[in-house]
Amino acid sequence: MSDTSAQQGQEFIAQVHQKMSKLVQEFASGVINRTQFHKLYDRYQRQIMTVAQLIAESDPAVWRDAITDSEDTLLIKQRLTAKAVGMSVYDNDSGMPIETLGEFAIEAELIIPMLSSYRSAAAEIFRAGMRSTEMENGQWLCFVPGTYTTLIALFSLEPSDNQLKMVERMHRDFEEANQGPLKAGHVDPKTLAYPFYSFVQKRAAPQADDSDKSKSDPKS
């Protein structure tokens, strides 16, 4: 990919990020419903990931790797790509979970002390951000702090920097979209919008929405 093409790709990603921000505001102000939010947010998210992947893969050396490795380079990357297994959002004040999505099979007895320890450490570090740690079974836990909540993401393997940035943005959008009830302290999980809903569902089962992939149009 030429420098010009890469720049155009980055500009496209920036434009889609703007669309996502507008979508967040529309839900926060009641213009759209949860179904519309989830569908459109996932659509924009897939567009960004597709373009970012194309930019990342456009290395002249890739084809050489493919013919010298015993296993196809693309297959290796796919096999070793971290999957978002599950995500859980915890209230910062009460320390209790608001909602859990996907297969988040970790006992609360383990999560709560880890979350408490993370918050204590973060409080000592000015503007402390996201932290991730490997578990004994090889899975990775990612803690993302927010104003009202903390997002805990469970990955099958070590997530890439791009995946971590995506999770961080989704959590920021989650808090912005649901700022009203989160700020008021009157949270009904069934009325909230979850930017990471499709991220968990579709990354765990990538075949789930093939029909919609064929309809994806970056111009819309």
In the chain, where the domains are located: 3-78+208-213, 81-204
Strand partners, 145: 150
Q: 124 pLDDT exceeds 60?
A: no
Side-chain half-sphere exposure of 162, counting CA atoms within 13 A: 13
Task: Please count the helices (runs of H) and the strands (runs of E) in the chain.
Answer: 9, 5
Strand partners, 153: 87, 142
Q: What is the pLDDT of residue 2?
A: 60
Q: What CA–CA distance (Å, rounded) separates 194 from 187?
A: 13
Contacts of 158 (CB under 8 A, 6+ apart): 82, 132, 134, 140
Q: What is the pLDDT of residue 212?
A: 44
Q: 55 pLDDT exceeds 70?
A: yes
Query: Per the confidence metrics, is the pTM higher than 0.75?
Result: no
pLDDT band at 57 (very low <50, low <70, confident <90, very high): confident
**CB-based contacts of 162-170 (< 8 A; 24+ apart in sequence):** 162/52, 162/56, 163/82, 163/84, 164/130, 164/132, 166/45, 166/48, 166/49, 166/199, 167/84, 167/87, 167/130, 167/142, 167/196, 167/199, 168/129, 168/130, 168/144, 169/17, 170/195, 170/196, 170/199
Amino acid at 133: T
Q: 148 pLDDT exceeds 90?
A: yes
Q: Classify burial at 201, counting beta carbons within 10 Å of its beta carbon; exposed 0-12, middle 13-18, buried 19 or more.
A: middle
Topology (CATH level 3) of domain 81-204 = Beta-Lactamase (3.30.450)
